[in-house]
C-alpha cells in the first residue's frame, strides 16, 4: 500500500510519524505546502485549490492508493471535494478526532482548539453534534501556538502563558476532553497536560490510525519514506529533525 500525506506545512509530520511507526511496510510520501502556509487564514475556495494541487502531485507522481489530509483546515473545507475529484480513499483528521473525543468524554463537554480557519469552519463542532447531539462543544482559535511551536518555544514560559490563556477559557466551561485541532499541537501535548492534567487530550494523528487499518488494501510494500516541500524553508528542516531526526527533504513546484 502507498499512502500520500499532505499538509499546509510542517505540522502534518506528526501524522506522518504516527503512520510510519504503525505501518512500517507501507510506502509513505509527504508533501508540505510550505510556500503557501498557513491555510488557516485562506478562503474556502483557495484551500480547495491548494488541496487539489497537493493531491494531484501525490497521485500523479506516486500512484498512491489512499490520501491522508493531515491539515485540519484542509480536512474541514476540502475533503469531500478531494474524494470526489480523485476517486480513491481519502482520510481526514476531523472525523476520527471527533469520534475519539465523543467516545472519551464522560461529562459530555468537549473543547476544540485549532487555527482560525478550522474553528470558523465549525467542522469539528458539526461532526460531533451529528454523532451525539446532547454533547456541549466549545471552540477556541489559538493563533499563537503554531509560531511558538515552529520557533521551538515548546518548553517556554510564553507558551505556558498562551496555553493558560487559550485553554483556560475552555477549561472554565467544564470540559473534560480537548481535541488538538491542528497538527502542530501534538508537540504541545505534554505542556498542556502538565497545566491541565485532568483533561483527556485527543490527538488526531493517533485517531486516524484505525481508519487506515480499515482500508481494504494490502500494507506490504517496501516501507519507503519521502518528504517534499513547496519551498525550502529552514524552519521546516529544523522542525522535521525535531520530530523525525535527520531527514532528506526535496523541494518541488506543484502550482499549475
Bond preceding residue 38 cis, omega within 30 of 0: yes
Q: Which residues of 154-170 are buried (b: 16+ CB within 10 A; e: fewer)?
A: eeeeebbebbeebbeeb
Whole-number Å distance between alpha carbons of 16 and 39: 19
72 in Cβ contact with 181 (< 8 Å): yes
The active-site residue out of 54, 71, 132, 142 is 71
User: Among candidates 18, 55, 50, which has minimal Cα distance to 36?
Assistant: 50
| C-alpha cell read off for 168 | 483556560
54 is catalytic: no
The active-site residue out of 54, 132, 182, 234 is 182
Q: Kindly report the length of the chain.
A: 256
Strands 249-251 and 225-229: parallel
Catalytic residues: 71, 182
Amino acid at each position: 500500500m502507498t499512502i500520500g500525506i499532505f499538509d499546509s506545512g510542517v505540522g502534518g509530520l506528526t501524522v506522518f510519524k504516527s503512520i510510519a511507526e504503525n505501518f512500517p511496510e507501507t510506502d509513505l510520501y509527504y508533501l508540505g505546502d510550505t510556500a503557501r502556509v498557513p491555510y488557516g487564514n485562506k478562503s474556502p475556495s483557495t484551500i480547495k485549490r491548494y488541496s487539489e494541487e497537493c493531491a494531484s502531485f501525490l497521485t500523479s507522481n506516486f500512484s498512491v492508493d489512499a490520501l491522508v489530509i493531515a491539515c485540519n483546515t484542509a480536512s474541514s473545507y476540502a475533503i469531500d471535494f478531494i474524494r470526489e475529484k480523485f476517486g480513491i480513499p481519502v482520510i481526514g483528521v476531523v472525523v476520527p478526532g471527533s469520534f475519539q473525543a465523543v467516545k472519551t468524554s464522560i461529562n459530555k463537554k468537549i473543547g476544540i482548539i485549532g487555527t482560525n480557519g478550522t474553528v470558523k469552519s465549525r467542522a469539528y463542532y458539526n461532526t460531533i453534534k451529528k454523532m451525539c447531539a446532547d454533547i456541549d462543544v466549545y471552540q477556541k482559535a489559538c493563533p499563537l501556538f503554531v509560531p511558538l511551536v515552529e520557533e521551538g518555544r515548546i518548553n517556554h514560559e510564553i507558551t505556558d502563558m498562551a496555553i493558560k490563556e487559550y485553554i483556560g477559557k475552555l477549561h472554565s466551561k467544564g470540559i473534560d476532553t480537548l481535541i488538538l485541532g491542528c497538527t502542530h499541537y501534538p508537540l504541545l501535548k505534554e505542556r498542556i497536560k502538565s497545566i491541565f492534567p485532568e483533561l483527556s487530550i485527543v490527538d488526531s494523528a493517533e485517531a486516524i490510525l484505525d481508519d487506515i487499518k480499515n482500508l481494504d488494501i494490502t500494507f506490504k510494500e517496501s516501507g519507503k519514506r519521502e518528504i517534499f516541500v513547496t519551498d525550502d524553508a529552514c524552519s521546516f528542516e529544523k522542525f522535521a529533525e525535531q520530530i523525525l531526526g535527520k531527514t532528506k527533504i526535496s523541494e518541488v513546484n506543484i502550482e499549475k
